[in-house]
Amino acid sequence: MFSIERWHEIFEGLAKNKLRTFLTGVSVASGIFILVILLGAGKGIQNGIQNQFEQDATNRISIWPGVTQKEHNGLGIGRRIQLRNTDYEIATILLEDYIEYKSAIYSVWSGNIVYKKETGTYRVEGVHPDYQFIENASIANGRFINQSDINNYEKNVIIGQKVANDLFKNQEDPLGAELNVSGVIYKVVGVYTDPGGEREESRVFIPITTAQRAYSAGDRIRSMAFTLNKGVDFDQAVEESLDFTQKLENLLKTRHNIAPDDQGALYVNNSLEEAKNVYIITGGVQAFFWFVGICTIIAGVVGVGNIMLIIVKERTKEIGIRKALGASPFSIISMILQEAVFITVVAGFLGLLSGLLVWEVIGPFVEADFFTRPEVDFNVAISTLVILVMAGALAGFFPAYRAAKIKPIVALRGD
Amino acid sequence: MIEIKDLHKSYQMGKNSLHVLKGIDFSVKEGELVSIMGASGSGKSTLLNIIGILDEADSGTYFLDGVPIKNLNETIASQYRNKFLGFVFQSFNLINYKSALDNVALPLYYQGMGRKERMERSMHYLEKVGLADWAKHLPNELSGGQKQRVAIARALASNPKVLLADEPTGALDSKTSYEVMELIQQINDEGKTVLIVTHETDIANMTKRIVYLKDGQIESDKLVNQIRASQYV
């Protein structure tokens, strides 16, 4: 059935009709090429969006105080709430089961930092050792704050990569250098990087105890941040984090005499909920690109079907001649289909390869805020190609079948 | 070789039915060279198409070499065409992207013959029609007479029982027409049964028997003294 003779006949037909072969091939190849480019771009955008939200741990919960908006227990409106060390300590003890990492924060807004002749203004945050994981920061050099820094009120500072780049020119090693932070001298013990980029890296961290003492804060803290133990699945994680947030809020509201329904006295940021939105957005982006991709495939299939129709029409007379000379309907159908499948496979594969090649070559150079690491799942691309080929064959089958059914005299008459 | 009894054929033209063949009784013995003549619309081409299994009669019987030709499906019909019949058309009907040799080899391809044998056999038939030197040329590089000779070589390649020619000289000038007729006479001399549809009297006179068709019926059917085409060439 699939003899070398038939392939020979088909190759001859293709080779002698170069323009037709070329045009069919180009339309199929460009369809697949566009699809690969689209899928790559979609993946790039998805990666980009995810990158933007990876700056903090995805299950981070922060809580910071505001001003009361409701009277409660005889206390008036407009009372400023102040969190203290004891709030943090009690919260961490009572809600221990939920917590993975924890840190209180005492931040000094816009600390003026001086190293030799270089100077700059950066956020200074007094934090606990766990804060590194809450911030999703990685240590590029040295170490982060440790418990002994906290216990001994050490004047050690961990600086962001951006800060290090700004203050330490000429490849100077920042480790061990002495920085003047708002009038107090600290020793640099670590440099960190943060997936959130420069904005997140232009901060410095000092032990919270040191911060409270050096800047006369007593036992006051600005906020608290936690990450929670990971749940079994995403939905459970969201549920547990809401649970935790509720308990934490209730605890602090009781301790600070805040009305249970006061919206302004405590602010909670639950990044897991945010993450959920991100997943929804990226899911939407992906769905959109799939939609466009599927439309492209449909257009490709229609295109291939259309080309098949034209080819069959153009070859009606040839088919008539072949039938008069003894070609069976089956041999006509299989000839047309084999030609079509052969062209779509070869051209589709070329389109696939060139699309992949484009992303391979230009992909690493395309970097923007919401666009990184464009890539194409090879399996997806291959299965699209298979679908296109099968659909093309199906689309070609009907005109081929009809052509094979035409009586040879009718086919011969038409010219 | 050909036995036809009470053959009827009508075409549906919109609402009207056009009765083209109104009861044809016709037979051809092996080795005959018959021409079918008649005005246009007399049904001569339709008769040839039915004989060539390119079309099917509405009623009547048709035996080709003792085989009843009735209610054939397309696959069987194509096998019979391939085995029993060779076609020569007015407009040549060569496949324009295939060389002369490949065109001649096409019926052999559909017989399932191997490539090497196919090419040898086709070359032999091209030599027979005097076009061996043109084997590699495409049809549009050949003159009308040459094209028709390639078509004749193609029709002969599968060694059919009957050669059917529908106005084989209709698109040719008289000199080339006579050359083609000379070739057909040669083929007939070798024993091949040949049927020609024509409206040219001089061509018909080069056959051995002339059948006149008028309004779908045979008006006359007589043997004639064959004029050899070679005397004109």
Q: What is the DSSP string of A376-397?
A: --HHHHHHHHHHHHHHHHHHHH
How far does the CA of residue B79 sit from the closest CA of chain A (Å)? 6
- Quick check: A314 pLDDT over 50? yes
Higher pLDDT, A375 or A29: A29
Domains of chain B by residue range: 2-231
Q: Which of A16-25, A201-210, A298-307 has the highest mean pLDDT?
A: A201-210
Give the per-residue SS3 of A253-314: HHHCCCCCCCCCCEEEEEHHHHHHHHHHHHHHHHHHHHHHHHHHHHHHHHHHHHHHHHHHHH
The most distant pair of C-alpha atoms in chain A lies apart, rounded to whole Å, by 106
Average pLDDT of span A130-152: 89
pLDDT tens-digit readout, B40-81:
888 888 888 899 888 888 999 999 988 898 888 888 888 898
User: pTM (2 decimals)?
Assistant: 0.65
Of A9, A320, A329, the CB nearest to B74: A329
Average pLDDT of span A240-259: 88
Residues in Cβ contact with A222 at an 8 Å cutoff, skipping those fewer than 6 apart:
A64, A83, A105, A106, A107
pLDDT category at A144 given cuts 50, 70, 90 is very high
CATH of B2-231, one of 3.40.50.300, 3.30.420.40, 3.40.1050.10, 3.90.650.10: 3.40.50.300
Q: pLDDT value at position A1?
A: 45
pLDDT tens-digit readout, A64-85:
998 888 888 888 888 888 999 9
Of B79, B81, B114, the CB nearest to A324: B81
**Nearest-by-CA chain A residue for B53:** A324
Query: Residues of B with CB below 8 A from A318's CB?
Result: 95
How far does the CA of residue B174 sit from the closest CA of chain A (Å)? 24
| Helix spans in A53-174 (H) | 85-94, 131-134, 147-151, 161-167
Higher pLDDT, A253 or A311: A253
Lowest mean pLDDT among A48-62, A95-109, B101-115, B139-153: A48-62
Q: pLDDT value at position A204?
A: 92
Round to whole Å and give the CA distance between A387 and B75.
Answer: 31
Contact A222, A64 (CB under 8 A): yes
Average pLDDT, rounded, for chain A: 83
**Optimal mutation site among A325, A328, A409, interface B, most CBs of chain B within 10 A:** A325
Lowest mean pLDDT among A69-73, A333-337, A380-384: A380-384
Does B79 reach chain A within 8 Å, measured CB to CB?
A: yes
Round to whole Å and give the CA distance between A140 and A283.
Answer: 33
pLDDT category at A88 given cuts 50, 70, 90 is very high
Q: What is the CA A157 to chain-centroid distance, rounded?
A: 32
Higher pLDDT, A88 or A392: A88
Q: pLDDT value at position A181?
A: 87
Q: What one-character DSSP code corresponds to residue A105? A: E
Of A8, A322, A407, the CB nearest to B115: A8
pLDDT tens-digit readout, B16-41:
888 888 989 999 999 999 999 988 88
**Optimal mutation site among B9, B54, B79, interface A, most CBs of chain A within 10 A:** B54
Contact A387, A323 (CB under 8 A): no
Domains of chain A by residue range: 4-52+278-413, 60-270
Q: A331 vs B95: CB contact, 8 Å cut-off?
A: no
Residues in Cβ contact with A341 at an 8 Å cutoff, skipping those fewer than 6 apart:
A389, A392, A393
